Structure 1
Amino acid sequence: MEQKKKSFNKGGRKPKLDPRTHRYSLNLDDVENAKFLAFYDQSGYRVKAHFIKNCIFGKSFKVLRIDKSKVDYYIQLSQLFSQFRSIGILYNQTVKELHSNFAEKKALALLYKLEQYTVELVKTNQQIIALTKQFEASYKEEGIISVEE
């Protein structure tokens, strides 16, 4: 009788093809540690080992600086944009309802009022555009590239 060798599944994790077995340790004083942590925080890495490896082997890293006021401005600008879109949709619905439910004279009077509010909205929109251009100019002065570039 022939006995066949059966391969059994050992279970567990498959071994890595290139395991990292070499470890290094270094000691820093307080000043060096403060500099290291400052660079690490600015780099945006989540793992210190990856940051150290990239510094040693010459890979560059990006420094991210987030200005809360600029982020808030961007969020508010996005909210204003969504409000403008909803106003445009409501504007179309209002005009349709005016023409279908009111007499012509009454509809024209209400449309005139709606036009006046639209003119005010356009003026506000122009002010927002001017402020945004001023904001982008200040961004470019600080060396941060705008979305258009």
Structure 2
Amino acid sequence: MEQKKNVKQNRGGRKPKMNARVHRHVFRLTDEENAQLLNRFETSGMNNKAEFITSLIFKNEIKTVKIDKGTTDFYMRLTSLFSQFRAVGVNYNQVVKLLYSRFTEKKAAAFLYRLEKQTAEMASLCEKIIELTEEFNQNYLQKK
């Protein structure tokens, strides 16, 4: 019986924190202030509202990341279009080599003339794409 008194009992539960947050402060907000606070909390991406408010009070830097679905979609399509242009460029080089190796110089020149017309159309299309991209950047991406 005396042995049981000397042995520490396991009380279970969580170990106490070294620097526990025990001080509580309460404040009240209007509907507009509450909506603004909740909006900032959602855009911050933080999981804990108490940590968010603490960081606001002590002016810790809060990074907000806004993901615009339209901008992301535009970027993805532009990237795929760029890869297609690269593929066309590779094919263009291969066609020119084949024309000169398989055909006579006169026939190759005729085919190259047609290919040159298509290339000019593609270049004008590329210029339009660049203009639209610059317009998109000015109108939508550089807003602050």
TM norm structure 2: 0.70
Structure 2: 5+ residue stretches without partners: 1-14
Q: How far apart are the structure 1 equivalents of 2:131 and 2:73? A: 17
Render the CA deviation track for 1:12-70: whole Å, top value 9, x for unaligned.
xxx9xx94422456677894765443221111234545433322321132333332222
Aligned-pair CA distance for 1:115: 0.7
2:130 maps to: 129
Structure 1: 5+ residue stretches without partners: 1-14, 144-149
Secondary structure of residue in 1 paired with 2:60: coil
1:54 maps to: 55
Larger radius of gyration: 2
Q: How far apart are the structure 2 equivalents of 1:138 and 1:46? A: 32
Q: How many residues align?
A: 127
Q: How far apart are the structure 1 equivalents of 2:25 and 2:94? A: 69
Q: How far apart are the structure 2 equivalents of 1:47 and 1:96? A: 63
Distance 1:46 1:22, change over 3 A: closer
2:86 maps to: 85
TM norm structure 1: 0.68
Following superposition of structure 1 onto structure 2, how do residues 39-78 of structure 1 map, counting pairs within 5 Å? 39-78=40-79
Render the CA deviation track for 1:59-101: whole Å, top value 9, x for unaligned.
1323333322222112111111111111111111111111112
Query: Which contiguous aligned blocks of 4+ residues in structure 1 show a shift greater than 6 angstroms?
Result: 26-30
Secondary structure of residue in 2 paired with 1:55: helix
Secondary structure of residue in 1 paired with 2:91: helix
